[in-house]
């Protein structure tokens, strides 16, 4: 059986802890590999390796660092099919969806090529008599990322690309459920010309996470996962003097106004709600039709589309979505559907008993659709993270706005309407970090920034875009005077520039 170790010091190394975790084939339910779980000592060795390599990398001029990213982009394009197939084989998302995963990460790498411009400081000539003032952005040192199973290519690249381009060394702790793509990305970074030790990958569990959180050599870290763990990571990192950007769960609403094109809205819900088996932090999980007539029209349009969803193998390019990542994930989602029925929601489409012929042990689940869900139900309050869509009927626009505003999560939200005034008002008033207007999954492009509000995000700086450069660097401000011909005397008042 294949064994997956770690990537430390520019090469693959075997795990030494004696502990492993299974990596499943979601299509068959069988174990396809074992991944090593790093001990505290192994993580510390990776951090030491990074700490030793980082000063020389920081001293490398930004343009040369950017050239590594340029070569990495080329390699990502060259290996796109390989990466997508590897990703799909461990995660379960279809190969076309996996290519999107890689592509959205690649776009942040492309953004990182331009980081030399964003690293420029400011300069004021003659800020005072004979005084010049300037600032510079400098890397933090060793930084880290703890990334989730649902985007094993995109989110690691969102983290390490801007961090490394800014002159830092990076420790990546990816999900142990689908670790092969992060390992392959590290190999491609070396092929692109990255010095050994600047990107280290340590596979592991809580022991590895806690080591990264408490080691004083790690100056900052990013996390994506559940809100409870995000809060733990953020508070622990802060207690140890580290910067942290931690992103958690979501319950993304899509408001459907009476004037919306129902066919367009239903198609948007199908793709955003069921794509990748709903295992996306930006998936739409709550549809909010405004008015009873809107709700009835939407349901008539939506139900046959959910019933017609094509579930297939991750290698099936024609499938709408593939299996879920593990049996534990599948059982958890089925449990939420059971709960919704117990709570009194109307289960209009039930996908719990779906089986893929010839792959009965795979982690497949059909699409589920709940109608008449109410805000007091747990299936509305909690993140399900599966192919389950809940319809919550709002009597009017104000009630529709209150639903996402009052929810504890604030990751993404969308409104479908032909009314520009309504869309503008909604975008201004909704208490959510990312808003789509007739766009169901409003993930910003790489040169903007990605981040949720409320319990969807902890920390004041977001992922990618200019915020990434701010997060992975520190600002130093220099006040300079060359007093040739100036007579000095002691001054006992606070300096001014007058």
Residue 333 has pLDDT above 70, yes or no: yes
The reported pLDDT for the residue numbered 486 is 60
Instruction: For residues 268-281, give the mean pLDDT.
Output: 97
The reported pLDDT for the residue numbered 489 is 73
Residues classed as catalytic = 281
The reported pLDDT for the residue numbered 487 is 63
CA dihedral 306, 311, 316, 317 (to 10 degrees): 10
Residue 369 has pLDDT above 70, yes or no: yes
Instruction: For residues 252-259, give the mean pLDDT.
Output: 98
* Mean of per-residue pLDDT scores for the chain: 96
Res. 497 pLDDT band, cuts 50 70 90: low
Mutual orientation of helices 420-429 and 397-406 as an angle, nearest 10°?
30
C-alpha Rg value of the chain to the nearest Å: 25
The reported pLDDT for the residue numbered 495 is 72
Over residues 111-132, the pLDDT tens digits come to 999 999 999 999 999 888 888 9
Res. 491 pLDDT band, cuts 50 70 90: confident
Contact 352, 332 (CB under 8 A): no
Question: What kind of fold does domain 2-248+456-478 have according to CATH?
Answer: Aldehyde Dehydrogenase; Chain A, domain 1 (3.40.605)
The reported pLDDT for the residue numbered 129 is 83
The residues, ordered by sequence, that sit 6+ positions from 142 with a Cβ below 8 Å of its Cβ are 47, 50, 51, 54, 168, 169, 170, 171, 217, 218, 219
Tokens of 265: 């809205």
Residue 343 has pLDDT above 70, yes or no: yes
Over residues 31-77, the pLDDT tens digits come to 999 999 999 999 999 999 999 999 999 999 999 999 999 999 999 99
Over residues 80-122, the pLDDT tens digits come to 999 999 999 999 999 999 999 999 999 999 999 999 999 999 9
Residue 488 has pLDDT above 90, yes or no: no
Res. 482 pLDDT band, cuts 50 70 90: confident
Instruction: For residues 161-173, give the mean pLDDT.
Output: 98
Res. 485 pLDDT band, cuts 50 70 90: low
Instruction: Calculate what percentage of the chain has a pLDDT beyond 90.
Output: 95
Residue 390 has pLDDT above 90, yes or no: yes
**Where, residue-wise, is CATH 3.40.605.10 in the chain?**
2-248+456-478
Phi-psi region of 141 (alpha: psi -120 to 50; beta: other; left: phi over 0): left
The reported pLDDT for the residue numbered 498 is 60
Residue 490 has pLDDT above 90, yes or no: no
Q: How far apart are CA 288 and CA 209, in angstroms?
A: 38
Residue 174 has pLDDT above 80, yes or no: yes
Over residues 201-214, the pLDDT tens digits come to 999 999 999 999 99
Res. 496 pLDDT band, cuts 50 70 90: confident
For the 252-437 domain, the top CATH level (class) is alpha beta
**Where, residue-wise, is CATH 3.40.309.10 in the chain?**
252-437
Q: How far apart are CA 434 and CA 498, in angstroms?
A: 45
The residues, ordered by sequence, that sit 6+ positions from 3 with a Cβ below 8 Å of its Cβ are 14, 15, 20, 33, 34, 35, 36
């Amino acid at each position: 059986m294949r064994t997956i170790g770690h990537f430390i010091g520019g090469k693959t190394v075997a795990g030494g802890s004696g502990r492993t975790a299974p990596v499943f084939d979601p299509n068959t339910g069988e174990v396809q590999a074992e991944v090593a779980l790093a001990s505290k000592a192994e993580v510390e060795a990776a951090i030491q390796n990074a700490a030793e390599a980082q000063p020389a990398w920081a001293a490398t001029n930004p343009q040369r660092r950017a050239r590594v990213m340029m070569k990495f982009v080329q390699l990502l394009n060259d290996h796109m099919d390989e990466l997508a197939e590897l990703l799909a084989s461990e995660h379960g998302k279809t190969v076309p969806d996996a290519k999107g995963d890689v592509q959205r990460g690649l776009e942040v790498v492309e953004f990182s090529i331009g980081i030399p411009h964003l690293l420029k400081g400011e300069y004021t000539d003659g800020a005072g008599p004979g005084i010049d003032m300037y600032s510079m952005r400098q890397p933090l040192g060793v930084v880290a990322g703890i990334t989730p199973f649902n985007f094993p290519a995109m989110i690691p690249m969102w983290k390490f690309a801007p961090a490394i381009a800014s002159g830092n060394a990076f420790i990546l702790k990816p999900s142990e459920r689908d670790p092969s793509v992060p390992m392959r990305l590290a190999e491609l970074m070396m092929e692109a010309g990255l010095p050994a030790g600047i990107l280290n990958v340590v596979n592991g569990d809580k022991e590895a996470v806690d080591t990264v959180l408490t080691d004083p050599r790690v100056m900052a870290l990013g996390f994506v996962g559940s809100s409870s763990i995000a809060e733990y990571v953020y508070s622990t990192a802060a207690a140890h003097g580290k910067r942290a950007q931690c992103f958690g769960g979501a319950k993304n609403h899509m408001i459907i106004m009476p004037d919306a094109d129902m066919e367009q809205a239903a198609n948007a819900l199908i793709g955003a709600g069921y794509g990748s088996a709903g295992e996306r932090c930006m998936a739409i999980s709550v549809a909010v039709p405004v008015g009873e007539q809107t709700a009835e029209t939407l349901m008539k349009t939506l139900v046959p589309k959910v019933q017609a969803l094509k579930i297939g193998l991750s290698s099936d390019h024609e499938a709408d979505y593939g299996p879920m990542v593990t049996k534990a994930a599948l059982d958890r989602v089925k449990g939420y559907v059971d709960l919704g029925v117990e709570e009194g929601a109307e289960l209009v489409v039930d996908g719990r008993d779906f089986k893929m012929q010839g792959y009965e042990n795979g982690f497949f689940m059909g699409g589920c659709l709940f109608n008449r869900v109410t805000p007091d139900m747990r299936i509305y309050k909690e993140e399900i993270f599966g192919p389950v869509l809940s319809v919550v009927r709002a009597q009017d626009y104000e009630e529709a706005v209150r639903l996402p505003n009052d929810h504890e999560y604030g990751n993404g939200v969308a409104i479908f309407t032909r009314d520009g005034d309504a869309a503008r008002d909604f975008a201004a008033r909704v208490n959510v970090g990312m808003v789509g207007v007739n766009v169901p999954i409003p993930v910003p492009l790489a040169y903007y920034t990605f981040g949720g509000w409320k319990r969807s995000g902890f920390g004041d700086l977001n992922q990618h875009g200019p915020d990434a450069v701010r997060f992975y660097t520190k600002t130093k401000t220099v006040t300079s005077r060359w007093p040739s011909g100036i007579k000095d005397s002691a001054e006992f008042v606070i300096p001014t520039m007058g």
